[in-house]
Chain A
């Protein structure tokens, strides 16, 4: 199923864990250090580089871009490390997250409470996934190097629903 990003969270209600999606549109690349800095700014009431309302975060720190390429290797990192920061971002209106691996119980519930989505994609497949990225730029926190805040334009980026908008978890269902 195709999903154009960003979009209203109301579109998510028909999606279920295990559904494969093809994502096109804008994703923000943020991992550990960018999360920590964004949430610190948020808590201080300081100006934020971007609004995350209805937006999507891809947990990634790409490898350097070779000349002539759009982006370097660009696969997902382990999502659970972002869990301490996720409730604050969901409160800001974050619509979805893409990463790899399971989430903690609190985040699962918060995703359900906000009607958001958590998707997973192919871990370790940074070369393959880079081919779905059509544009890439660093838009903030440049001093963090590979952990900067990126904006990506993607076309038909593959990902699977792991936690749906009701908070039902693919991994939980398999236990």
Chain B
């Protein structure tokens, strides 16, 4: 039985959440750099060049690349042969919150989290949105995603009919991106969840966002390619000012669903797709 201590987990969460505001994961950065070289629309290119300069300043001067330092999503994948010494902390939620609290202070993050109705600021960006899954092995993988609300507000859930075909699925996704327009700060990343129940589909769509930019294992999913082509045919472009790069990557995650339904969730990330991950072993 492998044991991980609370302080280590808190430090990892603080580092992942903090650092993701100063530089993007290499696969995300690389998609942005390629788009800047290949975008032909002069307005779109101007936006991409500003984005690249922005990331360089964020990384050089250690100032968050976007003032919307978001809500922090923390995904724990805990091996069944691993255990945690909580050292007085009450839960994984408490460890994630402590990491987010420290990152907000050490990385000068905006305090953006409020009670939903009274709109009272919690003062330290807690609580984090925490998801925990049990996996084989004795490792603990921690993944973080910073979700700004310019893009989060454009999320959509469709409860489609079981007889819906691929063209209807693609239509819903393209319409979601069209309606979002320039608001989610394109070029965007698309996470698509298909199947399960409503909340499962939404969670799958966030999980899918973690996969964007990664090389595909073997065959490129035909559905992902079709979605990417049709979304980019909209011509929304970087910053919504026009161009071929509306979306930089699409990933789909599927899960079995009920004979009577077909949930479809569409999650959008802005170009500042701030993911990070670390495996403790």
Contacts and interface: CB of A to CB of B under 8 A. Distances in A.
Interface of A: 18, 33, 60-66, 69, 72-75, 77-78, 80, 100-102, 120, 122-131, 145-146, 158, 160, 170-171, 174
A154 to B, nearest CB: 15
Name the residue in B63, B121, B181, B270 with the highest tally of chain A Cβ atoms < 10 Å from its Cβ.
Answer: B63
Nearest to A144: B121
A160 B50 CA distance: 13
Interface stretch (B109-117, B130-138, B167-175, B225-233): B109-117
Nearest 9 Cβ contacts at the A-B interface: A128-B54, A123-B185, A126-B67, A125-B54, A73-B67, A63-B110, A127-B58, A101-B183, A73-B64
A98 B110 CA distance: 20
B66 A100 contact: no
B54 A61 contact: no
B63 A130 contact: yes
B227 to A, nearest CB: 22
Contacts, number: 129
A31 to B, nearest CB: 10
A78 to B, nearest CB: 5
Contacts of A63: 63-64, 67, 69, 108-110
A127 B181 contact: no
B128 interface: no
B63 A72 contact: yes
B182 A62 contact: no
Interface in B11-70: 43, 47, 50-51, 53-55, 57-58, 61-69
Contacts of B272: 124
Nearest to A158: B50
A74 to B, nearest CB: 6
18 contacts: A61-B68, A64-B108, A66-B63, A72-B63, A72-B110, A73-B110, A80-B183, A100-B150, A101-B240, A120-B239, A125-B50, A125-B54, A126-B63, A126-B64, A127-B66, A128-B54, A146-B111, A174-B242
Contact of B66 (A75, A171, A174): A75
Nearest to B236: A174
A58 to B, nearest CB: 11
B153 interface: yes
